[in-house]
Amino acid sequence: MQAARANTPTTNTTTAPVAVILAVSAVATLFLFWLIYVHPAADANGTQFTFLPNLNALLNGLSAVALLVGFYFIKHRRIAAHRASMMTAFVFSSLFLVSYIVNHALHGDQRYPVHDTVYHIYIPLLISHIVLAVVALPVVLITFYLSLSGRIPAHRRVARYTFPLWLYVSVTGVIVRLMLVAAR
């Protein structure tokens, strides 16, 4: 009986899209690491589009707000409003990613001053933010895929982990930016 269940059309139709999501996420992650740590900044002096880091923080903050609103709506069984909120969070996160790529292509990576007293708080926070952002990308995409393809029970199971992960990454993105601004 288990073998028959493992080969159901639902399982087979989910495997390929999830594999594509994982592959795209891996390529995107490798591209971002290359962009941040290898690619030379086009405007290393930071004279063009200096608003981008603050825009990134704003978009992360708006994504966090949309996530919280979506959580409220799903807890009150307002499915259409939940879906709209989650789509809004996805749009904000997508715009963040575009802005983040442009910012790092132009300005490179911004270093935190080692001599600052909260450096030892900043670094673990930044590391957790980066690692969980890498994990969040495919998890968010899989959660959306499950919802949009009508696999609601599976969507619910995965979303229990996606929500806190995505929220943490969005909130810590704002905190990291605020810490960088305060350290200047």
Q: What does the pLDDT profile of the chain (184 residues) look like in tens digits?
A: 444 444 444 555 789 999 999 999 999 999 998 998 888 888 777 788 889 999 999 999 999 999 999 999 999 999 999 999 999 999 999 999 999 999 989 888 888 887 878 889 999 999 999 999 999 999 999 999 999 999 999 999 999 999 999 999 999 999 999 999 988 7
**Strands in 35-182 per DSSP E:** none
The predicted structure's pLDDT at residue 183: 87
Residue environment code for 106-130, b if the CB has 16+ CB neighbours within 10 A, otherwise e:
bbbeeebeeeeeeeeebeeebeebb
**Residues near 118 by beta carbon (within 8 Å), at least 6 away in sequence:** 179, 183
DSSP 7-59: TSHHHHHHHHHHHHHHHHHHHHHHHHHHHHHTSPPTTTT--S-TTHHHHHHHH
Question: How many other CB atoms are found less than 10 A from the CB of residue 86?
Answer: 25
Interatomic CA distance for residues 143 and 65, integer angstroms: 19
Of the candidates 122, 126, 129, the residue with the CA atom closest to the CA atom of residue 167 = 129
The predicted structure's pLDDT at residue 110: 82
Architecture category of domain 2-183 in CATH: Up-down Bundle (1.20)
The letter for the amino acid at 37 is Y
Token couple for 181: 């601004």
The letter for the amino acid at 61 is G
Token couple for 119: 């450096």
CA atoms lying within 13 Å on the CB side of residue 30: 6
First to last CA, the chain: 63
Interatomic CA distance for residues 132 and 158, integer angstroms: 15
Q: Which helix (H) or strand (E) segment is 111 a member of?
A: none
